[in-house]
Amino acid sequence: MRTRTLVALLSSVAGAAVVSGAAGIGARAGIRGQRAASQRIVEMLPVHADWWRERLHHEGQLTYLAIGDSAAQGVGATAPGRGYVGLLARRIRHRSRSTVRVVNLSVSGSTTWGAKKDQLPKLQHFTPDVCTVSIGANDIADFHPDKFERNIREIYGAVPSHAIVAELPCMFVPTSERKVAVANEIVHRVAAELGLTVAPLHAITKRVGIRRTFFNTYGDLFHPNDRGYEIWASAFEPAIDARVDTVAAIRRYLSVREAEELGRQAGDVANARAEQDTAGAEHLDTADRPTSFDRLRKRMTGSVPLPGRDADGEPTDVGGAA
């Protein structure tokens, strides 16, 4: 009996050691994998930046402008265009049935201060039909509510009144989430004051849950992957659809107004030409015909020959002596 107990105890200890060892090996492998993924992220940054910079030269019937950080660059996706900005550009194109120029001003690693300093000066060169702002996640590591609000106010005050601004995403870590809650209160309050639409990014990413978010995240455990960016895009989609429909309605209205104005202008030109032609015809018809006053004046001054006299007053055969 004592022998069986000893064997069981030794087996338990050995099993625990094996499990602990395996867990340790798995943890070390996980850390190595995360470091490797972080290195790949570093390599992605210039590639994504160049890809979006090249898109600035593309023309389009509509212009979509994005302000943000590495998430707006699509870092973590299999291709830059599979980030949320690329997905939204595709949705705008399909819904509007128009070509779309994407002006992605985002900078990887940008904070609200960085966006204010580097991205807002470039904004003045464009007049976007659609504009999204998703910034602030990088502020959480060193979060100062007053500074955050000052920067957000400057950014939100500079973007078009139709801009769609996003909440910060859910980070699931309690210490970070407490800061995110304060930041999102500022986002909602300032956006409401300025009449901007808020995309519920935090609500949607929180609803997904931590387990699914783990599988929707790139290997660095920070940036979304392709599936994660689809979830991000879904937070913007209702507001994007509404904005695209508004732009289409405005353009149709302006087209009708422009057509009516062109019609009026063409009618005015036609009427003016018709009046000019009529006046010219009347002038030609009466140009060589003396009026009754002209005939009387000529007769009184001798410029019209009297009967029996020529123009110099000399007698003619007409009415002369037989």
Per residue in 246-286, pLDDT (tens digit) is 999 988 887 777 667 766 776 676 777 767 665 555 555 55
Q: Which residue has the higher pLDDT, 135 or 250?
A: 135
**CA dist 311 → 86, 260, 288, 317, 320 (Å):** 96, 63, 20, 13, 16
69-90: pLDDT as tens digits: 999 999 999 999 999 999 999 9
What pLDDT score was predicted for residue 304?
47
Percent of the chain topping pLDDT 70? 71
Tokens found for residue 98: 């128009």
153-212: pLDDT as tens digits: 999 999 999 999 999 999 999 999 999 999 999 999 999 999 999 999 999 999 999 998
What pLDDT score was predicted for residue 322?
37
CB atoms closer than 10 angstroms to residue 80: 20
Mean pLDDT computed over every residue of the chain = 82
Q: What is the pTM of this model?
A: 0.71
What pLDDT score was predicted for residue 236?
98
What pLDDT score was predicted for residue 164?
98
157-166: pLDDT as tens digits: 999 999 999 9
∠ at Cα 228 (223, 234), nearest 5°?
Answer: 125
Question: Which residue carries 């609803």 as its tokens?
Answer: 207
Helix then strand then coil, % of the chain, to nearest 5: 65, 10, 25
pLDDT grade, residue 302 (50/70/90)? low
**DSSP SS3 for 193:** helix
Residue 104 has pLDDT above 70, yes or no: yes
Instruction: Quote the distance between the C-alpha of residue 302 and its chain's center.
Output: 85
pLDDT grade, residue 22 (50/70/90)? very low
Shortest CA distance to 66 belongs to which of 119, 18, 5? 119
pLDDT grade, residue 23 (50/70/90)? very low
